Amino acid sequence: MIGRVINDRFRIVSVIARGGMGKVYRAEQAPLGRQIALKVLEATYEGDSDPEFHKRFFLEASTQSKLTHPNTVTIFDYGKTEDDVYFIAMELLEGRTLHRYLRDEAPLSASKATHIARQICRSLREAHSLGIIHRDLKPANVFLVQHGEQADFVKVLDFGLVKDLGDKGEDLTQTGLFMGSPKYMSPEQIRGDRVDGRADIYALGVLLYEMLTGRAPFERPNSVNILMAHVHEDVPPMATHHVEVHPALEGLVRRALAKAPGDRFSSMDEMLSALTNVASEQGLAVSRSGDLGISGEFAGGSGSTTLSRADLIVPSSDGGLDSLGGLTSSSDAQARRGSAKWVLLVALLLLSVLAVAFALVRSGRSGDEAPAPVVATPAAPTEPEHVDDVTPSSPGALTTEVTIVSEPPGAQVRIGDSEEVHTTPVSFTWTGDDARRGRSVTFRFQLEGYRDLNAVRTVVGREMHVSGRLQPIDSEQERARRPPTTSRSTSTSGSMEGSESSVGLMGYKLEPY
């Protein structure tokens, strides 16, 4: 395949990885010259044993291509060649999987584990709002990259794409039985019951458990024993793995790992809020300086303390904490003492200068000669003080990622006095004055056959999640009074309850070319 050009656009350069479904190649997209990852599926996956493969592949590839959250891998294109080679062109990632990270460095600190988990929550929150269930969340499908100055930026891969992984290891499954990986599968997946977004919550609970302890909750000699343990056995206390985890955080993980879906968090949004609450319950202070992204030394006292990103207390975009660690009390005190010394020295210096000036003026006025006239000259203009370094509230430095969803989806939303219409679900970014903290914003939801809904929200952080649950119009008279909407897009429901495991969106192209 090296050197082959797929569909006149993607020239294959080299092999990146091999898997049960086929191979992933580095390729160059023409005419853009963009480096991409090209997943090429083996031709055998369209075999007679799975006559629905063709339809399901395009349905699910089209569905995943609609995901736009920064923590989700971007799908650029997908299709089939004339000789029936299926391919997916996606964002090329440079980094390592969470699987490799855990193999090298587990167990992770609470701050690192929750930092990763919160990003996964945000990725899956968007997917669930579109009715997309991952179904195979595991460390190999979580990629960690360097994103600007931010380390360990999450990219979630493979949202429920077609899988036939054989029985080549503990993490593999067979087509026709179920989809998923035994170590991370929910009890309802294993039993073959209806699956909704809470199966992903269970899998994320397994990931958190493994990040915090270095071990999955159920590790057995073979896949069958692992599956039975998920269904019947209690989750072992984390202390059995000789690690210390705050009881509130362990309780959060245990709730995500509840056997019954109804006993888990009802949504990724609720789980994200719970991670925030756990940090607050531990009494951790929140820095007001935003995401500093600092790695350096604070000088103070007789020495210096080197701080990494994990040591800093960083406020999250939704008002919580991205870190469960903080400055030690000794280093914090040293920094304060060092700052106090400098302030005192500067103050004494200013007082000395003022005293000398005052003495000179007095002595000049005591002589026989009249004092020379004082000519007031304007000071040279100076640049205004740049306050972005000391407060994140200046409008030009702010951004807020806005996500709007509705139940049911397809509602038209107007924001404030703007006539611009958005159709749910939708995500976009505010900058400048739009992202000003404390600004009150009204979101007006409208959908044919449903009552109008106004939701007022206040901008408080780098993310805003607005959800509107619309009520159907009851009477014909009420419908007659209701002005018609201009247009409506159709998608699957974002509700966690009752979402089938095989989910798709209207408008996908069975034959994209």
Closest CA to 57 of 31, 36, 30, 85: 85
**Which range scores top for mean pLDDT: 62-66, 242-246, 385-389?**
242-246
What's the longest Cα–Cα distance across the chain? 115
Helices (H), 149-261: 187-191, 198-213, 223-232, 247-256
> What residues contact 485, with CB distance under 8 A and at least 6 apart?
412, 446, 447, 448
Residues 30 and 156 in one domain: no
Among 105-119, 324-338, 396-410, 443-457, where is mean pLDDT lowest?
A: 324-338
Residues 85 and 120 in one domain: no
pLDDT, average across residues 128-150: 92
Q: Is residue 288 part of a domain?
A: no
Residues 152 and 77 in one domain: no
Confidence of residue 161 (pLDDT cuts 50, 70, 90): low
- Whether the per-residue pLDDT at 444 is higher than 70: the answer is yes
pLDDT tens-digit readout, 283-300: 533 333 333 332 333 333
pLDDT, average across residues 121-136: 93
Confidence of residue 457 (pLDDT cuts 50, 70, 90): confident
What does the pLDDT read at residue 405?
79
pLDDT, average across residues 426-432: 85
Q: Is residue 493 part of a domain?
A: no
Among 61-75, 202-216, 220-234, 377-391, where is mean pLDDT lowest?
A: 377-391
- Whether the per-residue pLDDT at 173 is higher than 90: the answer is no
- Whether the per-residue pLDDT at 314 is higher than 70: the answer is no
More confident residue, 237 or 329: 237
Residues 77 and 104 in one domain: no
Q: Positive or negative, the Cα torsion across 495, 501, 507, 513?
A: positive
Residues 186 and 222 in one domain: yes
- Among residues 281, 314, 347, the one where a domain terminates is 281
Q: Tell me the β-bridge partners of 182.
A: none
Residues 75 and 108 in one domain: no
Cis-peptide into 395, omega within 30 deg: no
Cis-peptide into 51, omega within 30 deg: no
pLDDT, average across residues 197-220: 97
- Whether the per-residue pLDDT at 276 is higher than 60: the answer is yes
Using a 10 angstrom Cβ sphere, with 0-12 exposed, 13-18 middle and 19 or more buried, the burial of residue 304 is middle
More confident residue, 264 or 306: 264
Confidence of residue 424 (pLDDT cuts 50, 70, 90): confident
Confidence of residue 476 (pLDDT cuts 50, 70, 90): low
- Whether the per-residue pLDDT at 264 is higher than 50: the answer is yes
Supply the range of the domain harboring residue 319. Answer: 296-331
For residues 210 and 142, give the distance between their C-alpha atoms in angstroms, rounded to a whole number: 13
The torsion angles phi and psi of 388, rounded to 5 degrees, stand at -65, -25
User: Token digits for 32?
Assistant: 């853009």
Element at 412 (helix H, strand E): strand 412-415
pLDDT, average across residues 307-335: 34
> What residues contact 161, with CB distance under 8 A and at least 6 apart?
57, 60, 61, 64, 88
Domain count, the chain: 4
Strand-strand pairing, 463-469 and 399-407: parallel
Secondary structure (3-state) at 140: helix
What does the pLDDT read at residue 60?
75
Q: Is residue 359 part of a domain?
A: no
Angle between helix 110-129 and helix 198-213 axes, rounded to 10 deg: 170
Q: Tell me the β-bridge partners of 421.
A: 414
User: Token digits for 317?
Assistant: 């975009």
Angle 277-278-280 from CA coordinates, rounded to 5°: 60
Residues 177 and 255 in one domain: yes
pLDDT, average across residues 81-88: 88
Q: Is residue 309 part of a domain?
A: yes
What does the pLDDT read at residue 408?
84
- Among residues 48, 65, 91, the one where a domain terminates is 91
Residues 194 and 239 in one domain: yes
Residues 306 and 415 in one domain: no
Closest CA to 186 of 263, 126, 275, 251: 263
What does the pLDDT read at residue 242?
95
Residues 36 and 153 in one domain: no
Q: Which amino acid is at 321?
A: L
pLDDT tens-digit readout, 358-412: 555 454 444 444 444 433 334 444 333 333 333 344 444 688 888 887 888 889 9
- Whether the per-residue pLDDT at 154 is higher than 80: the answer is yes
Q: Is residue 379 part of a domain?
A: no
Q: Which residues of 53-66 are buried (b: 16+ CB within 10 A; e: fewer)?
A: bbeebbbbbbbbbb
pLDDT tens-digit readout, 11-49: 999 999 886 667 899 999 999 999 999 998 876 555 445
- Whether the per-residue pLDDT at 67 is higher than 90: the answer is yes
CATH code at position 470: 2.60.40.1120
Which residues are tagged catalytic? 136
Among 80-89, 207-216, 225-234, 364-373, where is mean pLDDT lowest?
A: 364-373
Q: Tell me the β-bridge partners of 468.
A: 406
CATH code at position 103: 1.10.510.10
Q: Give the percent of the chain with pLDDT over 90.
A: 40
Among 230-239, 327-336, 337-346, 447-456, where is mean pLDDT lowest?
A: 327-336
- Whether the per-residue pLDDT at 109 is higher than 60: the answer is yes
More confident residue, 338 or 495: 338
Residues 86 and 105 in one domain: no
DSSP states along 231-289: HHSPPPPGGGGT----HHHHHHHHHHT-SSGGGS-SSHHHHHHHHHHHHHHTT----SS
Residues 40 and 119 in one domain: no
Distances from the Cα of 159 to the Cαs of 57, 125, 403, in angstroms?
Answer: 12, 13, 20
What does the pLDDT read at residue 113?
94
More confident residue, 320 or 441: 441
> What residues contact 207, with CB distance under 8 A and at least 6 apart?
98, 117, 120, 137, 138, 139, 142, 184
For residues 413 and 131, give the distance between their C-alpha atoms in angstroms, rounded to a whole number: 19
Q: Is residue 365 part of a domain?
A: no
Confidence of residue 228 (pLDDT cuts 50, 70, 90): very high
Q: Is residue 360 part of a domain?
A: no
**Mean per-residue pLDDT over the chain, rounded:** 73
